[in-house]
Chain A
Amino acid sequence: VTLLEQNPRWRLVPRGQAVNLRCILKNSQYPWMSWYQQDLQKQLQWLFTLRSPGDKEVKSLPGADYLATRVTDTELRLQVANMSQGRTLYCTCSSGQGARDTQYFGPGTRLLVL
């Protein structure tokens, strides 16, 4: 059973250009949504957890700047800017407040820098 959809599934991003990603929740029983990045060395890093529509957060990490928005109960967005190296972005969902609840990963969006 598919819990999450992510689009696009991949994107070539010209250096200096921003890209917008979407994650759609298919099961309302898992309302806690998060973003993770996986770098080219396959290292995974938590970025954000957003529960309520209207929640926004920003973060700057080595290699990219991020803006995450919980748009609705079923849609989570991520803007990636100033990306210097490719990476894959995964959204996750869980049923409770995150702690101890299983997080289920979406299929991911792979970003490559031109």
Chain B
Amino acid sequence: AQSVDQPDAHVTLYEGASLELRCSYSYSAAPYLFWYVQYPGQSLQFLLKYITGDAVVKGTKGFEAEFRKSNSSFNLKKSPAHWSDSAKYFCALEGRGTGANTGKLTFGHGTILRVHP
């Protein structure tokens, strides 16, 4: 079984501050990890992914994420935050299996980020 936990339903901060959105996962092997962003009324946009290698991966819109195997986390970061970053952010996991799990992303419940100007 695989699962993703985003413990913070809401994060609020002011423009210019550093943001960090938390994500932890449960999976029996090394996972593939993704972050997506959903702006109000829109679909999901891909931000970045971790496959293997370096623990810090960089993505679009100035975001990066750090994979930490020791505590099964994949936190999303950006500094400084901008008011336009306000959206809902989803962390997702895809296992390394085949067959029935091919193409299956397991999502966390998401974190709503509000950045005040």
Contact = CB atoms under 8 A, between A and B. Distances in A.
A42 B40 CA distance: 11
A105 B44 contact: yes
B10 interface: no
Contact of B103 (A42, A44, A94, A105): A94
A58 to B, nearest CB: 14
- Bin the interface of chain A by size: 20 to 34
A28 interface: no
B107 interface: yes
B90 interface: yes
A99 B49 contact: no
A34 interface: yes
Interface residues of B, number: 28
Given A42-B110, A44-B90, A44-B107, A98 B46 contact: no
Contacts of A105: 36, 43-46
A47 to B, nearest CB: 9
A99 B30 CA distance: 12
B109 interface: yes
Contacts of A100: 32, 49, 51, 94, 96
Given A42-B88, A102-B34, A97 B103 contact: yes
A99 B43 contact: no
Contact of A106 (B43, B95, B107): B43
Contacts of A36: 105
Given A99-B32, A100-B51, 5 more contacts: A44-B110, A99-B97, A100-B94, A102-B46, A103-B103
Interface of B: 32, 34, 36, 38, 42-46, 49, 51, 88, 90, 92, 94-98, 101-107, 109-110
